[in-house]
Chain A
Amino acid sequence: MSKKNLNIGEEVVPLLVAKELTKIFNNGVVALDQVSLSVQKGEFVFLVGPSGAGKSTFLNLVIRREVPTSGLIKVNQQNIALLKKKEIAHLRRSIGVIFQDYKLLPQKTVYENVAFALEVIGASPKEIRERVYNVLELVGLLNKAHVLPSELSGGEQQRVSLARALVNRPLLLLADEPTGNLDPDTSWEIMELLREINRRGTTIVMATHNREIVDKMRKRVIALDHGKLVRDTPKGGYHLEA
């Protein structure tokens, strides 16, 4: 503790903080129940738990797709619930999200889908070209740049959505079951990419059901069940080891 305090400044301030975060939907479902946690810059965190545990809801609260019923959620010291419309847009630019259903635009090519995230924030054409080709190279899709998503495999589409999440150079990457529909080999390709991105300094929060991956990666594991935080272990596995 004292050692950390000597290390003054940014290291001490968490990137993501939730305090007694609660989300009750209009239909009465308690998706999150008094969840408190904090994530430091540079961490890689798995968010695990059975279906309906509230993992996606948590990620949606971080990007302000949902508003908390009570409690607090902060990204980079900003209270997400208090943001104005413009600030929400800016928050989302600093967070990359990989959606489980990819959310790619079917009429746009791979290149255009990724470039879209930069056009939206008004980057210059030169910058867009450079960054898009860079990130497509990173995810190994340079040769498919001008292909439509419908002509890609599931793993390739997942990588497009990863490329789009990364192209803004986000502080924080949220991944909602990025290996959900993929075979084990392809899943590991994606995980290797995420590990590499994390090594380069991006904080990652990944919701998953994939026990094998969680067990092998030995990263911090936060488990939710029926909306409650039931476990938070550094370098843990999918289940509590006996």
Chain B
Amino acid sequence: MKLRTFFFFLREALKGLVRNRLMTLTAMGIITIGLFLFGMFFLITANFRYFTTLAWEEVEIRVFLEPAARNPEAVGHKLAALPGVAKVTFISKAEGAAALERMLGQKNLFLSGENPLPDAYTLKLTETADPKEVTRLASDIPGVEEVVFGRDFVEFLQMINHFTLVVGLIFLILTALAVLYIVANTIQLTVYARRKEIEIMKLVGATDSFVRWPFLLEGVILGLLGAGLAVFLLTEAYAFLVQRLGLYRRFLPLRADQELKVQLMIVLFVMGLFFGSFGSRISLKRYLKV
């Protein structure tokens, strides 16, 4: 396309937006609301995933060694080499006893010679690890007596994780479809208001794509403006929420990193672009049949 033609389209698009001010504001408002909702679900999903990863980090597997194990270090190396193991910490029987005494609030629980606790390792897992598999492999290592982990807690976490992923995705898709539907209908109104113009363009020999371009640009401009506004409102609201809930961050840790903000912006702008252009394309179809 020639640059001049592009500017002609852009001028027509801007004229259209200014001329149909009310429609423009309505469409933009609806895109903003839709993208705001979409962004909200996006943030909720992201935070849920964040909670579960935080909880995951708390998951530990304890590996108790046989009392007679001759070479605890070798076992440690083998454990560290297992798939899914992020970190291995050695807890000697003395440390185990000290921890137990601290927990029970009682001193000198055992005489130093008769400490019945075995040497042990605690394992931290990577995000994608399968605790059951790690447990099974760890039990097979010679010198390991018993492997213990909070099976119920882990399974609960895994369930929550899947659940948020699926529910989050469904919600995101549903809001996306709803927004697309509303946007297409709103643009349909602006197209309807200008059906005579479209008819005349076609009758004097305009090609479909020539007719489509200004509307496409209008849609894109609307989408981007709506996205910009939604990003602004959401980040402000979210920052406020994070600040207000700062007190409770031990119980309700919220993601407040820059990366999330950038992701949110990218997602909303891409959606806005998509809604605007796709919405105008769908709405035009009928009126191009002249």
A interface with B by C-beta (< 8 Å): 63, 65, 85-86, 89-93, 97, 99, 103, 105, 107, 116-117, 119-122, 124-125, 164, 168
Contact = CB atoms under 8 A, between A and B. Distances in A.
Contacts of A85: 207-208
A120 B5 CA distance: 10
A6 to B, nearest CB: 37
B205 A92 contact: yes
B3 interface: no
A93 B5 contact: no
Contacts of A93: 204-205
Contact of A117 (B8, B199, B205, B290): B205
Given A116-B200, A125-B4, 13 more contacts: A85-B207, A85-B208, A89-B205, A89-B206, A91-B205, A93-B205, A103-B203, A116-B201, A121-B205, A122-B2, A122-B5, A164-B204, A168-B204
A119 to B, nearest CB: 6
A120 B198 CA distance: 11
B195 to A, nearest CB: 12
Interface string B203-232: 111111010000000000000000000000
B191 to A, nearest CB: 15
B196 interface: yes
Contacts of B200: 103, 105, 116
A103 B197 CA distance: 9
Interface in B167-203: 196-197, 199-203
Question: Can you list the 4 inter-chain pairs with the closest CB atoms, starting with the nearest?
Answer: A93-B205, A92-B205, A120-B206, A117-B204
A120 B196 contact: no
B70 interface: no
B77 interface: no
Contact of B203 (A63, A107, A121): A63
Given A103-B200, A119-B8, A122-B5, A168 B205 contact: yes
B290 A65 contact: yes
A63 B197 CA distance: 18
Contacts of A99: 203
B136 interface: no
A93 B204 CA distance: 6
A147 B268 CA distance: 44
A169 to B, nearest CB: 12
A169 B85 CA distance: 80
B19 interface: yes
Contacts of B290: 65
Contacts of A125: 4
Given A117-B205, A120-B210, A107 B196 contact: no
Given A65-B290, A105-B200, A120 B208 contact: no
A90 B208 contact: no
Contacts of A65: 203, 290
A8 B196 CA distance: 44
Contacts of B2: 122
Contacts of A91: 205
Which of B2, B202, B203 has the most A CB atoms < 10 Å from its CB? B203
Contact of A86 (B201, B202, B203, B207): B207
A107 B205 CA distance: 20
Nearest to B210: A120
A161 to B, nearest CB: 10
Contacts of A124: 4
A22 to B, nearest CB: 22
A96 to B, nearest CB: 9
Contacts of A116: 200-201, 204
A105 B204 contact: no
A85 B211 CA distance: 13
Contacts of A97: 203
Nearest to A117: B204
B108 to A, nearest CB: 93
13 contacts: A63-B203, A65-B203, A92-B202, A93-B204, A99-B203, A103-B196, A103-B199, A116-B204, A117-B204, A120-B206, A120-B210, A164-B204, A168-B205
B203 A89 contact: no
Interface in B1-49: 2, 4-5, 8, 19
